[in-house]
Amino acid sequence: MARNSKERGICELYQDDPERADWVLFGRKADGNRRGFLKGAGLASMAAVVGSSIPFHRQMPSGLIPSALADELSDFKIEGKDGLSVLNDRPLNAETPAHLLDDAITPTARHFVRNNGVPPEDTDPASWTLAVDGEVETPLELSIDDLKSQFDVVTAALQIECGGNGRSAFNPPAKGNQWTVGAVACSEWTGVRYADVLKAAGIKDSAVYTGHVGADTHLSGDPEKLPISRGVPIAKAMDPNCLIAFEMNGAPLHPMNGAPLRTVCPGWPGSCSQKWLNRIWVRDQVHDGPKMTGTSYRVPGYNVAAGTDVPKEDFVIIESMPVKSLITFPETNAAISGLATEVRGHAWAGDREVTSLDISIDFGATWQAATLDEPVNPFAWQNWRADVTFPAAGYFEVWARATDDAGVMQPFAINWNPKGYLNNTMHRIGLTVAS
C-alpha cells in the first residue's frame, strides 16, 4: 500500500471526487460524451457487487453512489429527523424527499441537514456565549439569556437552501454532495435581529463584511482548523429579516440545525447561516475564512459551456439565490385514480418575491397558472396549488416553473458551473393516471 494512501468510507470518497470514486471502485469513467460507460473489468466488478448483469449499464450515470452500496446507509437514523435521505455520513448530510416538504412551514423533523465538520457535543444554552468583535466600537460577549433580555425577540418563517441543491443533475458531474431537490426548507425561526446586535456593538465605518465562527470542529481533528467560516456583507447583516436564532418552530434548535445558536440569513446560500454560532467577527475586508475563498460557494462571473475550465479569478461569491419551485404533491411516480388531482408545492426567489407559478402536463407545450399565495413574511417561501385534469389515462409529467418580480423565470436546462451550484431548473414529477 502506498505510504500516503488514505482509507475512506464510500460516501466520503464520492463526495470528494465522484468520477474518481467510480474509477477507484469499478474502473469506470466517462468515455467521450457518454457518461458512466462501463467496460471490461469495471463492468464485471459492478455486476459482481449487485449480483447480476446490468442490461442498461450504458445509461448508468457516473459520479453517483451505486444503490447496492448506498443501501448500507438506509438504516442510518438521525435522532429527531424523519424520512430524510442520507447523502453522506462524514460529515453528516441529509436531504428531504420533495413529498415530505408539503407542509407550509417545514417541521423540524423534515428540515435538511448540511454539515461541514463535526458538531459540538456540549451545546448547553445556559453556558453558551456569543462574541462580537473586530471592527466594532464596543466588543460584546453575550449569553443566550442576554440576547433574549437585551433585544427584541422576533419570529419569522424563513427559507434556507443549500447552494448546491440540485447538484446531482449536473453533467459533467460536479464534486460535492449529490443533492437532488430536498436541501431546502422554510421553518419558523425565533431569535433577535442580527442588525440589532451589530448596532449594540457599534459598527465602525471601516466595517465591510462579517465573519461567522461556529463551534463545530474540522474532520481532521485539528483544533486549529475550522471546517467552515463564512459571512455576509454588512448590508445583508443589517437586513431586519436576518436573525441570530435560538428557537426553531417554537422549540430549541435541533442539534443538527445548529443548537443552541445560529444565524439565519435567508435568501442567500445556507452556508451564510452559520450553525453553532459562537463568534461574529466584523471585518474591514471581505471575509476570508474556510469556504469563503477559491471556488467555494462561487460561480463564474459569466455563463460557461458545460465542462469549461474556468480560472479561479473569474469566480464571484454567490449572494441571492435564484428563483425556484418545488412540487410536493403528488409524490413523483404516484398512481392517480381518476383524471383529476390537486398539484401543490412551494416557490421562492432569494432576495426577490415570486409573482407567478405555472404548471404544464404536456411537456411544456401549454401552461396553466396556479394559485400562488403571498409570503407570510419577507423571505418565506410561497405556497401554491392548482387543480389539474388529465385528458386521458396514461403517463404524464407535471412541470412547475416560477417567475420572480424581476421577470426572471426558471429555465428548463441547467446553467452549468464547475461547482454544481444554483441549479434552479423546473421541477418535474412523473404520474401514472388511471381513468
CB 139 within 8 A of CB 201: yes
219 and 147 in a single domain? The answer is yes
CB 419 within 8 A of CB 299: yes
Assess if residue 309 is contained within a domain. Answer: yes
Assess if residue 175 is contained within a domain. Answer: yes
- Contact partners, residue 62, CB within 8 Å, separation at least 6: 18, 19, 22, 28, 29, 30, 35, 36, 173
CB 21 within 8 A of CB 15: no
Integer Cα distance of 289 and 407 in angstroms: 35
**Which residue has 404544464 as its cell numbers?**
360
Assess if residue 3 is contained within a domain. Answer: no
140 and 202 in a single domain? The answer is yes
Assess if residue 30 is contained within a domain. Answer: yes
415 and 377 in a single domain? The answer is yes
Assess if residue 116 is contained within a domain. Answer: yes
302 and 223 in a single domain? The answer is yes
- Contact partners, residue 124, CB within 8 Å, separation at least 6: 260
205 and 116 in a single domain? The answer is yes
155 and 214 in a single domain? The answer is yes
284 and 313 in a single domain? The answer is yes
Assess if residue 157 is contained within a domain. Answer: yes
Q: pLDDT tens for residues 91-110?
A: 889 999 999 999 999 999 99
342 and 297 in a single domain? The answer is no
- Contact partners, residue 85, CB within 8 Å, separation at least 6: 94, 95, 96, 97, 182
Integer Cα distance of 323 and 300 in angstroms: 18
Domain that holds residue 63: 10-70
Assess if residue 339 is contained within a domain. Answer: yes
**Which residue has 430524510 as its cell numbers?**
84
233 and 255 in a single domain? The answer is yes
391 and 419 in a single domain? The answer is yes
147 and 248 in a single domain? The answer is yes
pLDDT digits (tens), the chain, 435 positions: 333 334 445 555 555 566 666 655 555 444 433 333 334 444 554 555 455 565 666 665 555 455 555 555 555 678 899 999 988 878 889 999 999 999 999 999 999 999 999 999 999 999 999 999 999 999 999 999 999 999 999 999 999 999 999 999 999 999 999 999 999 999 999 999 999 999 999 999 999 999 999 999 998 889 999 999 999 999 999 999 999 999 999 999 999 999 999 999 999 999 999 999 999 999 999 999 999 999 999 999 999 999 999 999 999 999 999 999 999 999 999 999 999 999 999 999 999 999 999 999 999 999 999 999 999 999 999 999 999 999 999 999 999 999 999 999 999 999 999 999 999 999 999 999 998
Domain with residue 236: its CATH number is: 3.90.420.10
CB 354 within 8 A of CB 314: no
282 and 406 in a single domain? The answer is no
Structural domains counted in the chain = 3
